Amino acid sequence: MDETRPVKIKVRGLSKVFGKHPQKAIELSNQGMKRPEILEKTGQTLGLSDISFDVYEGELLVIMGLSGSGKSTLIRCLNRLIETTEGEIVIDGENIPTLKEKALLECRRRHFSMVFQNFALFPHRTVQQNAEFGLEIRGVEKAERHKIAHDSLKQVGLEGWEDAYPNQLSGGMQQRVGLARALANDATVLLMDEAFSALDPLIRKDMQQELLQLQSKMQKTTVFITHDLDEALNIGDRIVLLKDGEVVQIGTPEEILTKPADDYVRRFIEGVDRSRILTAESAMRPLRTTARESDGPRTALHRMRDHTIDSIYVVDRDRRLLGLLEVDAASRAIEEGADSIIPYLTQDFRKVPMDEPLHNLFAMFSEKSFPIAVIDKQEQLLGVVVKGAVLDELARAGEQ
């Protein structure tokens, strides 16, 4: 984890008690008592207990837990839809739990957009008017907010639906409106509360992909709640794992899978943890194209262009792997008038045998983004593994 990245939201010692005598519950909690005992002794429900984590600028942080883990409470504490009992939530120097009413409204308008599980669209407003809502609340002038909302609807692929009402749209489209409403608002943080959980699995995958694409374009700080490990692994830069109102582990998807903090996490990822019997072969994809040793730089470059890739594996006549040619190197070879690409190859990539356990592959990706080459005993190139495929494969195993 990179500790030097700028922190957008700092959460420290956050606790939430549901009930009339929160202080009693906090005391017991500080003495190390857990949720069920506290409920029995005081009648107070400890929703969140001493939660601390950071949300870095521009990252997509997933907060994951099963129902009752406190994840919905936690996201609502961030913009204070639920009052906190103890602790700090600092965003750009402002401590949210202590803000006065007016400052709180200001803070919500400036910093938070929210997407809800059941969409929470306003049925009496058109798609366009729904997308404009946040701007309207902030008092943005009519013509301007119209344009911004229109743009964000276009961004989520709803152009032409501006005058429809929410009940005329399918679930997936409704959630796009929800997303457009959040994007139009251009707040600094996007809160997504089980945003895709109400959608059916295929549409859900699509929405996850689209979110990732939007995210790579906009780099918006996002806090995403889910109960679905598959989803968390798929989209999260980092994952905060909650259980019974406490943080169990914080880490990247790879860290959670490879270094589970305790038995709970281990059980949680048990299905997924078949990675230990999954191998590189299962996640491998055939190569779309390779270059031959006899190819000149122009041919190699041409192949890369054809397949819109920026590096290509080079093999000899027996498909033995010789090296990797990057697009820059190919250009350089052309400039220098070289006939052969062999001197321009790099060996700075990873190759693994077919039976390499899948979980070992995670660490390799963090260095360079080239696909990992999979070879057999004769050094022949069989295929490649890309990062997403590893996670997909693990997640699929988890579902079985």
Partner 1 sequence: MEIPRIPLGDWIESGLTWLTSEYSLVTRGISRFTQTGIDFLNDSLMWLPEWALLGLIALLCWKLAGVRLAIGAVAGLALIWNLDLWNPMIETLTLVVFATMVAVVIALPVGIAAALSNRLYRVIMPILDFMQTMPAFVYLIPAIPFFGIGSVSAIFATVIFSMPPAIRFTTLGIRQVPVELIEAADAYGATRGQKLFKVQLPLSLPTVMAGINQTIMLALSMVVIAAMIGADGLGSEVWRAIQRLRPGDGFEAGIAVVILAMLLDRLTQSLRKTR
CA torsion through residues 122, 128, 129, 134, sign: positive
The interface region with partner 1, picked from 8-16, 110-118, 157-165, 322-330 by CB under 8 A, is 110-118
The sheet that has 291-292: what strands, in order across it? Answer: 291-292, 311-315, 321-326
Tokens matching residue 362: 């995670």
- What does the buried/exposed string (b/e) look like for 307-324 if buried means 16 or more CB atoms within 10 Å of the residue's CB? eeeebbbbbeeebebbbb
Exactly one of 124, 217, 317, 377 binds partner 1 (CB under 8 A); that residue is 124
Find the shortest distance in angstroms from Cβ 193 to partner 1.
9
Nearest CA to 96 out of 75, 114, 72, 71 is that of 75
Exactly one of 37, 57, 106, 293 binds partner 1 (CB under 8 A); that residue is 106
The interface region with partner 1, picked from 35-43, 133-141, 347-355, 377-385 by CB under 8 A, is 133-141
Exactly one of 138, 319, 320, 350 binds partner 1 (CB under 8 A); that residue is 138
Exactly one of 60, 89, 133, 190 binds partner 1 (CB under 8 A); that residue is 133
Find the shortest distance in angstroms from Cβ 64 to partner 1.
21
Find the shortest distance in angstroms from Cβ 265 to partner 1.
31
Tokens matching residue 314: 């080079």
From first CA to last CA, the distance across the chain in angstroms is 31
Q: Which residues contact 254 (CB under 8 A, 6 or more apart)?
A: 362, 363, 365, 366
Exactly one of 7, 39, 90, 120 binds partner 1 (CB under 8 A); that residue is 120
Exactly one of 18, 53, 116, 165 binds partner 1 (CB under 8 A); that residue is 116
The interface region with partner 1, picked from 101-109, 166-174, 260-268, 288-296 by CB under 8 A, is 101-109
Between residue 173 and residue 232, which ones bind partner 1 under the rule CB under 8 A? 185, 191
| Contact call for residue 168 and partner 1 (CB under 8 A) | no
| Contact call for residue 134 and partner 1 (CB under 8 A) | yes
**Rg value, the chain, Cα:** 25
In sequence order, what DSSP letters do the residues of 191-224 get, joined into one string?
EEESTTTTS-HHHHHHHHHHHHHHHHHH--EEEE
Nearer to partner 1, 3 or 101 (CB): 101
Exactly one of 26, 51, 61, 114 binds partner 1 (CB under 8 A); that residue is 114
Nearest CA to 388 out of 265, 254, 255, 296 is that of 254
The helix/strand count (H/E) of the chain reads as 16, 16
Exactly one of 8, 108, 220, 243 binds partner 1 (CB under 8 A); that residue is 108
Nearest CA to 130 out of 156, 155, 149 is that of 149
Residues near partner 1 (CB under 8 A) are: 79, 81, 105-109, 112-114, 116, 118, 120, 122-124, 133-134, 136-138, 185, 191
